[in-house]
């Protein structure tokens, strides 16, 4: 876990840490950084404009996926709206709840209600390659309220590239793949990462550029799993962090699968 360095003190000029200054000096430095932040925002807007102009791939939306109500055509995921955002959740066959993908669990946990997307004409769903008889109890355990579907056995562009965000457009009975992203592109669904970027110590990850003397940090997903005491660990007593909020979630003995951070 992130800990505050014992020494040197923040105002020690030999520490290599940011200097301690008065409010006016801080404000001047903050205003200078704001210029760069605004440029970054405008660059993001320009990328979004290019994203809206990407070519599309048409696919057959009549292919069936399996949800709480049984098999339905993929077109039903649009819920009558023209646009659809899907999170593709990785799955480990046969693994217990605590053994499912920690990164996907964290990402899916951040969207509890898609009502604002809905008001903009966009539907949201989670799809996974897991068998529905395994997925259904997991969704119930996690308390997810957004729709989940199994796409087991389906070909691209519906069931490929798990651990990603994918966008679709509907035109009547036709459907098109418009965009997909994975890795750090998924962070848009996980605002906790953006908030951590604003904090003094950042994400607590080793790859970050930080002042000398700051905590070194761990690997990119060091904090995705913890034990019952909140201590990050990848051992058999760990769970994906959001699971500890679930009623009845307690220490475990095995993850039921191998492999760590994806």
Q: Which of 44, 73, 48 minimizes the C-alpha distance to 59?
A: 73
Q: What backbone phi and psi angles, to 5 degrees, belong to 32?
A: -65, -40
- Contact of 110 with 190, CB cutoff 8 Å: yes
Q: Which of 73, 257, 51 minimizes the C-alpha distance to 158?
A: 73
Instruction: Give the whole-angstrom CA distance, residue 144 versus residue 138.
Output: 9
Instruction: State the pLDDT confidence band at 148, using cuts at 50, 70 and 90.
Output: very high
For residue 239, being part of any structural domain is answered with: no
For residue 99, being part of any structural domain is answered with: yes
Instruction: State the pLDDT confidence band at 243, using cuts at 50, 70 and 90.
Output: very high
For residue 222, being part of any structural domain is answered with: no
DSSP H helical ranges for 88-214: 102-109, 115-119, 132-142, 191-198
Of 65-79, 89-103, 221-235, which gets the smallest average pLDDT? 221-235
Please give the tally of structural domains in the chain.
1
β-pairing, 164-171 vs 83-89, is antiparallel
For residue 174, being part of any structural domain is answered with: yes
Instruction: Give the whole-angstrom CA distance, residue 163 versus residue 87.
Output: 7
Q: What backbone phi and psi angles, to 5 degrees, belong to 205?
A: -115, 145
The whole-model pTM stands at 0.89
Q: Does the pLDDT of residue 1 top 50, yes or no?
A: no
Instruction: Give the whole-angstrom CA distance, residue 105 versus residue 33.
Output: 34
Burial of 189 (0-12, 13-18, 19+ CB in 10 A): middle
Burial of 157 (0-12, 13-18, 19+ CB in 10 A): middle
The CATH number that applies at residue 97 is 3.40.30.10
Residue 107's domain spans which residues? 57-187
pLDDT of residue 212: 85
For residue 258, being part of any structural domain is answered with: no
Q: Which of 258, 78, 66, 47 minimizes the C-alpha distance to 175?
A: 78
pLDDT of residue 159: 59
For residue 68, being part of any structural domain is answered with: yes
Token look-up 């769903």 returns 125
Of 98-102, 136-140, 208-212, which gets the smallest average pLDDT? 208-212
- Contact of 126 with 147, CB cutoff 8 Å: yes
| Mean pLDDT across 220-227 | 90
Q: Is the peptide bond before 203 cis (omega within 30 degrees of 0)?
A: no
- The whole-chain average pLDDT of the chain stands at 90
Q: Which of 132, 133, 193, 184 minimizes the C-alpha distance to 163?
A: 184
- Tokens for 95? 């693994």
For residue 28, being part of any structural domain is answered with: no
Instruction: State the pLDDT confidence band at 8, using cuts at 50, 70 and 90.
Output: low
């Amino acid at each position: 876990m992130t800990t505050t360095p014992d020494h040197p003190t923040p105002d020690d000029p030999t520490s290599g840490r940011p200097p301690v200054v008065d409010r006016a000096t801080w404000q001047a430095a903050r205003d200078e950084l704001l210029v760069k932040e605004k440029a970054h925002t405008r660059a993001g807007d320009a990328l979004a404009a290019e994203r809206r102009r990407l070519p599309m791939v048409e696919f057959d939306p009549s292919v069936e996926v399996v949800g709480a109500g049984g098999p339905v055509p993929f077109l039903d995921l649009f819920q009558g709206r023209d646009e659809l955002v899907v999170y593709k959740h990785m799955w480990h066959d046969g693994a217990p709840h605590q053994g499912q993908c920690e990164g996907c669990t964290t990402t899916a946990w951040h969207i509890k209600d898609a009502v604002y997307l809905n008001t903009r004409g966009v539907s949201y769903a989670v799809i996974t390659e897991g068998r529905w008889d395994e997925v259904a109890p997991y969704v119930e355990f996690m308390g997810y309220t957004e729709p989940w579907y199994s796409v087991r056995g389906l070909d691209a562009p519906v069931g490929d590239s798990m651990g990603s965000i994918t966008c679709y457009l509907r035109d009547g009975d036709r459907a098109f793949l418009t965009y997909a992203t994975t890795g750090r592109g998924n962070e848009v669904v996980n605002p906790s990462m953006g908030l951590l970027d604003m904090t003094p110590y950042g994400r607590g990850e080793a790859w970050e550029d930080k002042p000398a003397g700051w905590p070194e940090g761990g690997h990119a997903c060091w904090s995705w799993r913890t034990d019952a005491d909140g201590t990050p660990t990848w051992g058999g007593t760990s769970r994906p962090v959001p699971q500890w909020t679930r009623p009845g979630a307690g220490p475990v003995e095995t993850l039921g699968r191998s492999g760590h951070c994806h």
